[in-house]
A and B are shown apart, each in its own frame.
Chain A
Amino acid sequence: AQSVTQPDIHITVSEGASLELRCNYSYGATPYLFWYVQSPGQGLQLLLKYFSGDTLVQGIKGFEAEFKRSQSSFNLRKPSVHWSDAAEYFCAVLNSGGYQKVTFGTGTKLQVIP
């Protein structure tokens, strides 16, 4: 069965600093991968997705992620963090079987300090 690991539960960065959130997946075939963001009390917003092709994926809000098959990783990056980026970030993998089940990691909570 597929699984997703986000090793960092909580990360604090200064506004303007760069950010990298780690994600490792376990999946037998070529994975379909996602990053979602969740603000407090809100639903999930899709930041970006990887299905195939270029391994560097651009998303909304200045985020990008790089798929590395050899490391089973799909890390999320942003060159300069804004205070409004404070939220919880979830990495997820899609089951490409008979139905579209998405398996989420446990999330990384991002705190941005001025």
Chain B
Amino acid sequence: ETGVTQSPTHLIKTRGQQVTLRCSSQSGHNTVSWYQQALGQGPQFIFQYYREEENGRGNFPPRFSGLQFPNYSSELNVNALELDDSALYLCASSPVGQGGTQYFGPGTRLLVL
């Protein structure tokens, strides 16, 4: 399965600013997860949303927050951007009944100057 989309593809912000990244999953995918992938690293789990509620969180500070909407689209918000927030942000969605199999979008590359 494919079809997870993310916007924008690239973004440049300055330190201290706020950013919102968006993700649209396929119909029937009721769980969405967000990951941060720093250059040369594997993706790191930020948090997961299920039925519009956050139901799991990785080791990220509260300035990383999210939303999931009734149509299963999602947003990742990052406040007070820091230089280390520069990374590829990946959204992944899971279809109902597929036991955690996650399908990833192409990512948003964020550069913080």
Given A101-B33, A101-B56; A90-B100 close (CB under 8 Å): no
A100 at the B interface (CB under 8 A): yes
Given A90-B42, A105-B42; A42-B56 close (CB under 8 Å): no
Task: Considering the complex, give the chain A residue whose CB is closest to the CB of B94.
Answer: A100
A44 touches B104 (CB 8 A): yes
Our pick among A41, A46, A100 for the contact of B103 (Cβ within 8 Å) is A46
Chain A residues in 8 Å Cβ range of B66? none
Chain A residues in 8 Å Cβ range of B58? 101
Given A43-B105, A43-B106, A43-B107; A100-B100 close (CB under 8 Å): yes
- Chain B 33-48 interface mask (CB, 8 Å, partner A; 1/0): 1010000011111001
A90 touches B43 (CB 8 A): yes
Chain A residues in 8 Å Cβ range of B109? 41
A42 touches B102 (CB 8 A): no
Bound CA–CA A99/B35 (angstroms) = 14
Q: How many residues of B contact A (CB 8 A)?
A: 28
- Chain B 95-113 interface mask (CB, 8 Å, partner A; 1/0): 0000111111111010000
Chain A residues in 8 Å Cβ range of B4? 43
A107 touches B33 (CB 8 A): no
A101 touches B43 (CB 8 A): no
B90 at the A interface (CB under 8 A): yes
Bound CA–CA A92/B103 (angstroms) = 13
**Residues of chain A whose beta carbon lies under 8 Å from any beta carbon of chain B:** 4, 32, 34, 36, 41-46, 49, 51, 90, 92, 94, 96, 98-107
